[in-house]
Amino acid sequence: MGIATLLGAIGVITSFGIFYIGLEVFKLSPEMIQTFIFLKLSVAGHLTVLVARTKRHFWSPPPAKILFLAIVLTQLVATLIAVYGIIITPIGWTFALFVWGYALISFLITDFLKIYLYRLINHSEMKFKR
């Protein structure tokens, strides 16, 4: 399994996870679930850029200021769209903050899994070189 496969699989799993939470735990309407998932895909998608850009932890080296600013601004807009329902059903601040928390926890787990997989890959390559 490669890094791209890992990142993609985690994205799919966490998307189904938040769908389940919205549907079964919070009992959201289908329209609110759409907004819930929109915000998760937006936030998690941009956080995945931070994970994928380096073989080390996302903070090492720190992302370029312009990249970080672009992520912050686009996610601020996406969050406001989801909270206030601009063209979509609003979910409010409570659900938006839940999505952010969910995405951030998934992001940190993904980053550590990426490091672990890189170590496995490098260890396997060392065995083949002997």
Question: At a CB cut-off of 8 Å and minimum separation 6, what does 4 contact?
Answer: 52
Confidence of residue 72 (pLDDT cuts 50, 70, 90): very high
Q: Which domain holds residue 112?
A: 3-129
Total number of domains constituting the chain: 1
Two tokens, residue 123? 């260890």
Whole-model pTM: value is: 0.88
Residue 82 and residue 35 in contact, taking contact as beta carbons nearer than 8 Å = yes
Residue 91 DSSP code: -
What local confidence, expressed as pLDDT, does residue 129 receive?
A: 56
Alpha helical stretches, state H, 1-130: 3-20, 30-52, 65-84, 92-129
Please choose, from the candidates 115, 16, 124, 98, the residue with its C-alpha nearest in 3D space to the C-alpha of residue 56. Answer: 115
What local confidence, expressed as pLDDT, does residue 78 receive?
A: 98
